[in-house]
Amino acid sequence: MKKHVLSLFIAVWLCTLTMTSCSAAEISAASSGTGLDSAKLTSESQPAAPFLDVPVDAWYAEAIAYCRQKGIMSGTTSTTFVPEATLTRAMLAAVLHRMSDTPTVSDPPAFTDAVAGSWYSDAVSWAAKTGVVSGYGGGTFGVNDPTTREQAVTILWRYAGNPESTGTAGVSDAASISTWAQAAVRWAEVNGILDGMLENNRFDPKANMKRGEVASMLYHYLSNNASSQPEPAASGRTLVAYFSATNTTRPLAEYVADILRADLYEIVPEDPYTDADLAYYTNGRADREQNDPAARPAISGSLENMADYDVIFLGYPIWHGQAPRIISTFLESYDLTGKTIVPFCTSHSSGIGSSDSNLHALASGANWLAGRRFASGTTRSTMEDWINSLDLPEQLTAVDAVTSAAGKAAFNFETKSVTLNSGYEMPINGLGTYSLHGETCVDSVKSALASGVRLIDTASAYGNEEEVGQAVREAMEELGLQREDIFVITKIYPGSEMANPEQSIQACLDRLDLGYVDMMLLHHPDRNDVKAYQAMEKFVEDGKIRSLGLSNWYVKELEEFLPQVSITPALVQNEIHPYYQENDVIPYIQDLGIVVQGWYPLGGRGHTGELLGDEVISGIAKAHGVSSAQVILRWNLQKSVVVIPGSSNPDHIKENTELYDFALTDKEMAKINALDRNEKHDWY
């Protein structure tokens, strides 16, 4: 990556902001590889005639003139700038793709709203594969959706290396800034990057970013010390090639590519494997191939620029103790002499074993590093720790300053889900089953699943895991759902359960009888909580638990607990409702990259009536034509708090899912925030 790569990023970014193609001059400048380095950003640049649609006294006029004069930004025509035009998601993907030296993309975008062969096609494919800009779910990317102001500022902040920024943004609407954007906005404000953009001291984080605002932001960014940043990691020299028949290896490969800013290549069989092919000990296709050392399953397509890579991370699952034979096909398809190969595999139980060393003869001229096996659901941080322990060229171990996550999980209101730090996607609204038993519990869970709920919360202490498991199994059969469609949380309790954690964990799994549990929590702090959590970590390695979390943990407890465990909790579940808001605890947890989930969101036993009847809440509900319960649940979601209200009433269960057709205003959020009494409704 050349020095001053940000300058190139800016030139290309702002080129894509136009609603038409770049001019020939712009394309030449952007593709020359010199970017702003060649312009040297001096006052010697030739003056240009002002844009007709940029008044000389406009607040952004100086910034636009500066950006134009320095070659950072040009107009949509020779006389117009269109300062009100917005930045779309496709444009953002194109910027990031080009900024990463336009890595080769072999597949068209897998989204219904993305056109193969279009100007953004490769960028969207690359962005989705690397996780830089993900799709909405349901098969769409949101190609033409605008980028908001908080998103644009966060991108620039990440590119600057996620500089530390403490305190609270001084803008008047700070409460409406998404949690994941708070640090970026604070940084931009402190460094004067928002100068001129704040009308009445409001940032308007959800408003669409305009070209005039972009020019102003970059003008101030380049004019002060905020643009001083660490040089990003080198790119284009590392490849992550992987085969993933059941999508177990895929997320780990994507983590490696993201961490190293490497290119990602999926080894796709010409003849895809079916479930029957993969069934063990049936003499199916996979069995026959693994028993035949000469088997070489054909690969669909090929990588034309293998010569460009010095390091190859090679990912695969373990089949009968070995790498699938298609890995042999891959290795024998290229000249890998002199390249460094780093194998990694996924397995529920087997180690990497001889699957690593048995591949060496297929690329004998390569430098093979010792491989490692990972369990399904291994976290990004674990992969990062492994990569940093490897003896790789120095530039390859640096975490990318652009594409690394801000550390805070963002709610996706389109898919109604959040991606956990474990890599799994979890619904953001669900059903709590506390106090539900027998047929009432079975019927309630089935009613919830029929209403579209996909998150079910239970616990050993609730005494209803068997009923929850029964309901999930029956709903899968009756509704045609797959196990992966339903996210089940359970918990083990302090005392004897945490004192004998392996036995307690297995008992939960047996009672649920669902093959695996999506998340297991420690129900409360206990003298054996670290011991119990470490036992859960082993179950994660074995694939029986996918994500881990805690319940009723606060700042002090987390500070003491986290240094003693290996897997960062994906979730903390605490009591949260308008009368007990935890406004000091929630940001602390979220800043750790941990999702917050609220139990008793409607106040809990003996308090629900008072809360639903609160004049502030009922008034807001009336204004939106919704119920008080829906207002409270939506308030939680807009604070990035997952909700699990409990109910046995099918109508209430369904009502509690209808949270996405309205949104609370900043003023309404503030009114509910003002209701906080620090009034806890249960003892823990």
Is residue 120 part of the annotated active site? The answer reads no
Of 229, 384, 233, the C-alpha closest to 313 is 384
Contacts with 542 (C-beta within 8 Å, 6 or more apart), sequence order:
348, 349, 375
Angstrom distance (rounded) from CA 662 to CA 364: 61
Task: Phi first, then psi: give them for residue 457, nearest 5 degrees.
Answer: -110, 130
Of 5, 217, 231, nearest in space to 102 by CA: 5
Distances in Å between the Cα of 585 and the Cα atoms of 2, 560, 572 are 42, 15, 11
Calpha distance 320→308 (Å, rounded): 33
* Dihedral pair phi/psi, residue 314, rounded to 5°: -115, 110
Within 10 angstroms of residue 391's Cβ, the number of other Cβ atoms is 10
Q: 41: Cβ–Cβ under 8 A, 6 or more apart, which residues?
A: 7, 70, 222
Contact between 588 and 612 (Cβ < 8 Å):
no
* CB-based contact 520:549 (threshold 8 Å): yes
| Residue 477, number of CB atoms within 10 A of its CB | 9
Whether 49 contacts 202, CB under 8 Å: no
Nearest alpha carbon to residue 196 among 66, 91, 288, 350? 66
Question: What does the block give as tokens for 158?
Answer: 């990440």
Tell whether the torsion through CA atoms of 560, 565, 570 and 575 is positive or negative: negative
How many Cβ atoms sit within 10 Å of the Cβ of residue 34?
A: 16
- Pairing mode of beta strands 417-419, 411-412: antiparallel
Interior angle at CA 530, CA 422 and CA 557, nearest 5? 85
Percentages of the chain per state (helix, strand, coil), in multiples of 5? 40, 15, 45
Residues paired with 457 in a beta bridge: 432, 489
Which residue is catalytic, options 159, 242, 309, 462?
462
Cα separation, 356 vs 402, in Å, equals 32
C-alpha to C-alpha distance for 508 and 199, rounded to whole angstroms: 55
- Which are the catalytic amino acids? 462
